Structure 1
């Protein structure tokens, strides 16, 4: 029950590590804080995993990750499936790519050795299976080799990629640039306070990306401006049901959660019971079910998180 009492986390990821010393050494894990977890794997702070603790393989680099999981449990399920594609029941047998060929002494199947190609192929498969297809997942690449392996697999496989999954890239410094351009960048950085963060260090670890949405929700429901449901037009008494709010700027369209769900599902061509998104009947702008659920769970279960997010920062006193 403790898990159910919390709002949807701002970030939870399943990540892929690669040893910068031995590129064949790979590791898969999950975390709500990729920068801190990377430091743990590299021994900069306490934590990490036994498999990544050998100094001869450090430093590790986070080459890719999947984000958008609705809970820690959801991320752990996906992590296990990516780590054990030869056993995962999320993968139908006819589509299984990784197959075990050996057994352990106890008779259990031995996990096949993973490569960057095999991990990318299994990611491609898992992102589209029914177990995970309804989640608002995003695939991030921070390394060109990992992204190249992904593109090669996508180009060769006959299975189409699940639509609606954003593929984001952030490679930092481009290794293909000329020495002159790199020297010019260094000269520019010498006059800057700090270089801009990139990769896992640029990921938002809090609810800042939906701050305006959360602020609108607090304003609408604190002042009891629910009004009539934008779908069924019935009056919505304050605090007497689960109400969803449109996420688009300038729109205060509110509706029964069941009505929003039914409306979004009616715009989809399949027979799913959980919507992915649709358009607001009031402003006609696009609305994502995952964003609506995050705002709703914050409003109902995360008062302290909302207070922290909306707290106004004190202005620094001007120097005399």
Structure 2
């Protein structure tokens, strides 16, 4: 059975989980829906992981996450590398920070995973964001605990190797409004509460703090997607904004500028060559795929990751586009003709 291509996901994250009861107990996982996954870890929704199922460690909190992965597989690769920095082949041997000092029983052949600390996770996270395998991905960091963000800043100030300049880092230290700022005790939800929570998880406006403020769908790029649909549906491609040759509708792969009011369309290869040629030597000296660039038509900044998300939605995600734009036509049921009595 052939694997069907999918669009770049609206959100896929690798997260850092911390026990609110014992801050030294940490967990790393991945998910497209952080609110739901946190509820699973806390036993409010079925699922979760065996390592987070102990009531003595609940409730858990997400203190940080990495978002912007181009696929689920990409997120799983990053998750495994962050969980196993002593084994990951993405990390060169001479750059490895975490080293296994013990072997697993009973055969003792496989290196034992070292105990994770927040310092080790932060240092290896910084390292993975610098290695060639991940440094050019459109990733962004989110921190939800001030002490974790402080640890990140401290490590960044001590490491000589710089991160990509365009790496975005966000902080949101707001929490739920509970009495005395205490975390609510975990409990099993009723069917009605669970149903309401699942509805809120698909609505980005339902929460305004932490992981509940993350966009879980394509709503943030709705206008961009709608613009692309109109351009290509009505064959308004025109000439390529880079090479200036006519674009044949329905032939080849074409991308459109993401800036409001600009309908600049170009061949995908032209966009890539233009961005690489005009980017700084420091950012793209060894790059095959670009990170960002400026549109020749409007001179506005364009993120390559955003452009690819719209392109894959338009070419591979018709169901997602119909859901986002609500363009799916409803079936019209014609009234039956009444039989006349003979």
Normalization by structure 1: what TM-score? Answer: 0.89
CA offsets 1:213-247 (integer angstroms, 9 cap, x no match): 00100110010001100011111111101001000
**C-alpha separation in 2, matches of 1:238 and 1:41:** 49
Q: Indicate yes or no: 2:322 matched with 1:307.
A: yes
Name the counterpart of 2:289.
Answer: 274
Deviation at 1:61, TM superposition (A): 0.2
Name the counterpart of 1:139.
Answer: 141
Deviation at 1:3, TM superposition (A): 5.5
Name the counterpart of 2:237.
Answer: 226
Name the counterpart of 1:128.
Answer: 130
- Residues 223-302 of structure 1 aligned to structure 2 (within 5 Å): 223-268=234-279, 269=281, 270-302=285-317
**C-alpha separation in 1, matches of 2:44 and 2:90:** 35
Secondary structure in 1 matching 2:255: strand
CA offsets 1:33-87 (integer angstroms, 9 cap, x no match): 0000000000000100000011100000000000000000000000000000001
How big is the alpha-carbon RMSD for the aligned residues of Structure 1 and Structure 2?
1.9
Normalization by structure 2: what TM-score? Answer: 0.83
Secondary structure in 1 matching 2:21: coil
Number of aligned residue pairs = 296
Name the counterpart of 1:98.
Answer: 98
**C-alpha separation in 2, matches of 1:159 and 1:221:** 43
Name the counterpart of 2:190.
Answer: none
**C-alpha separation in 1, matches of 2:224 and 2:147:** 37
Name the counterpart of 1:81.
Answer: 81
**C-alpha separation in 2, matches of 1:280 and 1:245:** 9
Residue 206 of structure 2 contacts residue 212 of structure 2 at CA under 8 Å; is this kept in 1? Answer: no
**C-alpha separation in 2, matches of 1:247 and 1:289:** 9
Unaligned segments of structure 2, at least 5 residues: 182-204, 328-342
Unaligned segments of structure 1, at least 5 residues: 183-193, 313-320
Secondary structure in 2 matching 1:273: coil
- Structure 1 stretch displaced more, 1-10 or 50-59: 1-10
**C-alpha separation in 2, matches of 1:103 and 1:255:** 54
Name the counterpart of 2:23.
Answer: 23
Structure ID, larger Rg: 2
**C-alpha separation in 2, matches of 1:224 and 1:128:** 41
**C-alpha separation in 1, matches of 2:121 and 2:37:** 20
